Amino acid sequence: MKRLRFVLEVHRATHRIGLFLEGAVPPLGLSQGEAHLLAYLLEAGDTSLSELHAAFGHKRSTLTSYMDRLEAKRLVKREARPEDRRSFQVSLTGPGRTLATRVHRRLEALEAVVLGQLGEEDVESLRTGLEAIAEVDREEHPSESPKRRRMRTRST
């Protein structure tokens, strides 16, 4: 059996990010997934559900659950897109933008601490490695159509 060289560290880092978010004062009142979605929406602006799915790689049911909770908290709104009534646009509400800004500032603080310990080359290598992880599913099934890939990922 080969020793894992980075996967456990990625898992540990993800967990630590969640703990860092939980340490916010006053508490954010969000799950880690909800917090990341709000921070993303703050940076990206109004976004389709398909774009959020592509950005995060959640199962569709997981993303729907996050959206349901964020909408129930009145932090986001989902509206049918005028050009395609079958798809939805997600946008931050006023309170959602305020909370997303708090989340983003908290994540900025974490990044600042870490970036203070890394050189620019380290940062680029880290980004390259994380992007490679994000692309694994696509590389394992390169000839698969996007529709087929979505069907397969829904069932996992």
- pLDDT for the residue numbered 57: 87
- Residue given tokens 């099934």 in the structure block: 141
pLDDT at 82 (0 to 100):
78
| pLDDT class of 87 with cuts at 50, 70, 90 | confident
Cα dihedral sign for 117, 119, 125, 131?
positive
Contact by Cβ (8 Å): 78, 71? yes
Q: What is the pLDDT of residue 91?
A: 96
The pTM of this model reads 0.82
**Cis, bond preceding 142 (omega within 30 deg of 0):** no
Phi, psi (deg, nearest 5) at residue 93: -85, 180
Q: Rounded mean pLDDT of the chain?
A: 88
Mode of pairing for the β-strands spanning 84-92 and 47-48: antiparallel
pLDDT, residue 144, reads: 45
Q: What is the C-alpha to C-alpha distance for residues 108 and 141, in angstroms, rounded to an integer?
A: 35
- Alpha-helical segments (H) within 23-145: 32-44, 49-56, 60-72, 94-115, 120-140
pLDDT digits (tens, 9 = 90+) for 7-45: 999 999 999 999 999 999 999 999 999 999 999 999 999
Read off the pLDDT band of 152 (50, 70, 90).
Answer: very low
Which long-range contacts (C-beta less than 8 Å, at least 24 apart) are formed by 48-53?
Answer: 48/81, 48/87, 48/88, 48/89, 48/90, 49/78, 49/87, 49/88, 49/90, 50/87, 52/90
pLDDT tens for 55-86 read 998 888 999 999 999 999 999 999 988 777 77
